Amino acid sequence: MLSPKVLIPFMLTGTIWGSTWFVITGQISDVPAAWGVFYRFMLATPALFVLAAVMGQRLRLNRPEHLLALGVGIAQFSGNFLFVYHSEQHITSGIVAVMFALLMVPNAVFAKIFIGEKVAGGFIGGSLVAIVGVAMLLVHEWQAAPLGGNVMLGIVLAVGGMLAASIANVVQANPTGRGVPMVSFLAWAALYGTIFDLGYAFVTGGPPTLPGAWQFWAGTAYLAIIGSVVTFPLHYNLVRQIGAGKTAYNGIVTVCVAMLLSTLFEGFVWDALSAGGMALALVGMGLALKSKQKK
């Protein structure tokens, strides 16, 4: 974990993703959430193909590899982000980020089911502590409801996004996925996801809305290039190198950055309940992941 080739992408992805939660709030304020997701990957997908070509990675996939890319694309670049963008219409971005930090739990469960990773006994105890902490934060959010939305719906949507992301994280690390160059695989997965996003946006959001504000497109470019093209290859390489459980450590970095931005720009107000919940969530995540790492 302390090797520069692991530590640098680990900290970089955690910090960047911590900022993306807040940037998303600007995308869903100007267009329907589904179109916001499509615009993001409309820009990211060609960039991933260009990056794969520049790196000299093969772009031709065989049938099993295409099927895997299709599944990961629907789970990661459609289901995950559609759930997240809709969730942030109801609960603050920092809270969604905290919930996603619990990605370690389904990651561990699915990794055991799909690729045979073992789970240490202490992982369960630490996860329960983290879940209690997140529950306290959600109670605080329920009481405050600063966005005036349906907090319960936001929670359900965030859980759906977390499960979709976890499935994509773990499944791509199977032998078929490991046989495909990472950026090439992500490019195809993003293409399949973007096609699905386009159809979903037309069905649910109607004709496309094209905002004229430069801030919207600057945010979209940041999410597409920095928040996707830069981070996803780094993230998935970490999953392959150190496992899905250890990679989930960067959720702690992400949470700290996301909650700082939510406090500064979304009016999140701390009290004893939210502060205690945040502390429990961070301690629980640390205990769970430390236990899994030792195993």
Which of the four pLDDT bands, split at 50, 70 and 90, describes residue 39? very high
Compute the distance between CA of residue 44 and CA of residue 221 in angstroms, rounded to an integer.
8
When mean pLDDT is compared across 43-52, 74-83, 119-128, 142-151, the lowest value belongs to 142-151
pTM of the complete model: 0.83
Q: What pLDDT does residue 149 have?
A: 62
Q: Inter-axis angle of helices 231-242 and 182-205, to 10 degrees?
A: 120
Q: How far apart are CA 89 and CA 49, in angstroms?
A: 31
User: Please, which pLDDT band fits residue 81 given cuts at 50, 70 and 90?
Assistant: very high
Range of the domain at 267: 4-294
Confidence of residue 131 (pLDDT cuts 50, 70, 90): confident
Longest dimension (CA), the chain: 55
SS3 190: helix
Structure tokens at 197: 């996003």
pLDDT recorded at residue 1: 53
Measuring CA to CA, which residue among 264, 267, 114 is closest to residue 178?
114
pLDDT value at position 295?
A: 41
* 118 Cβ contact list (under 8 Å, min separation 6): 112, 295
Among residues of the chain, what percentage have pLDDT more than 70? Answer: 92
pLDDT score of 21 more than 80: yes
**Number of folded domains in the chain?**
1
Section 129-156 average pLDDT:
78
Distance CA 55, CA 122 (A): 41
Mean residue pLDDT across the chain: 85
Using 50, 70 and 90 to split pLDDT, how confident is the model at 174? confident
Q: State mean pLDDT over 234-263.
A: 80
**What is the spatial distance between Cα 122 and Cα 163, in angstroms, rounded to a whole number?**
22
Please say if the pLDDT value at position 115 is more than 70.
Answer: no
- With cut-offs at 50, 70 and 90, classify the pLDDT of residue 294: very low
